[in-house]
Amino acid sequence: MKGSYENQTVIITGASSGVGEGVAQHFAANGANLVLVARNKEKLYQVRDILKQKTRVIAISMDVSNFDDCQNLVKNTLAEYSSIDILINNAGCHERGYVEENDPQNLGRMIDVNLKAPIVLSRLVLPHMTKSGCAIINVASLAGRVPVPGSAVYSASKFGLRAFTYALANELQTKAIKIATVSPGPIDTPFIMSDIDSVSDLTFSQKISTVDEVALTILRLCKNNKIEEAMPKISGFFTNMTYLFPKLGSILSPLLIKKGRNAKIKLKLKK
């Protein structure tokens, strides 16, 4: 895949760590021009300074839920590179806990970051995706395929992001713009690993993916003919089955929760 994104301009949100940073590293290795976006300026600039030894890269510290910031992002990208080829909507927000116990502002922010921001950014970049090989990849979640108690609003935001992806792909089927989503389960990043106790037991019933696995899947989605990639695949199969047959989910859920609880205990012992 080396060099396969030569001179393509790629915007990556949530690029200061985790999957966003991993995706940036792989695009840099493949010759892409990068626009790295995140709120954490210090970490973002650290990633920028490492990757600028490999490729052209700019870093923009901003809040993806702010409309003016999003407009300026597109404006600054075009000023620097004159084109936008790929958008990776990766920035995410998860405030865990039951709805009735959670801060209403936190619930609203999850929708703003996880759903509204990808919709707005997609709309803003679409007029500039005029060449072949353009793509928008949305980072959703297995929680967007089955509801997760304690993560109701997060699940809702990812359900919505998947629906947006499929609908947008349908709207743009006559244009040469690839629209797709990746729906991972747990990933070995601080996003879930830094506070294991707050994460649902159900989450840990699945194989934990690595950042590299998710990042490479995103790069492949930019060019293949798939509209969605669930990770791990077996979890994608089961989420499909439980969606089609809700009673199956009711039967499997207690077993999966028990499995996840045991896995969580083992992870905590390793720390």
Domain spans of the chain, in order of start? 9-270
H helices then E strands: how many in the chain? 10, 7
Indicate the SS3 state at residue 179. strand
The CATH label, of 1.20.120.10, 3.40.50.300, 3.40.50.720, 1.10.260.40, for the domain at 9-270 is 3.40.50.720
In tens, the pLDDT along 208-267 reads: 899 999 999 999 999 999 999 999 888 888 788 887 777 777 777 777 777 767 766 776
**Residue closest to 64 by CA, chosen among 37, 24, 33, 36:** 37
Would you name the residues annotated as active-site residues? Answer: 154
Contacts 24+ apart (CB under 8 A), 122-127: 122/87, 122/89, 122/164, 122/168, 124/70, 124/71, 124/73, 124/74, 125/11, 125/74, 125/84, 125/87, 126/172, 126/177
- The pLDDT score that the predictor gives to residue 268 is 65
Assess whether pLDDT exceeds 80 at residue 60.
yes
0.75 surpassed by pTM:
yes
Sort strands 9-13 and 33-38 into parallel, antiparallel or unpaired: parallel
Q: Element (H or E) spanning 76, and its range?
A: helix 67-81
> Is residue 179 within 8 Å of 136, Cβ to Cβ?
yes
**Residue closest to 144 by CA, chosen among 228, 265, 32:** 228
Which residues 6+ apart lie within 8 Å of 83 measured at CB? 9, 128, 131
How many angstroms from the chain centroid is the CA of residue 205? 20
Question: Confidence band (pLDDT; 50, 70, 90) for 164?
Answer: very high
Assess whether pLDDT exceeds 80 at residue 195.
no
Assess whether pLDDT exceeds 90 at residue 115.
yes
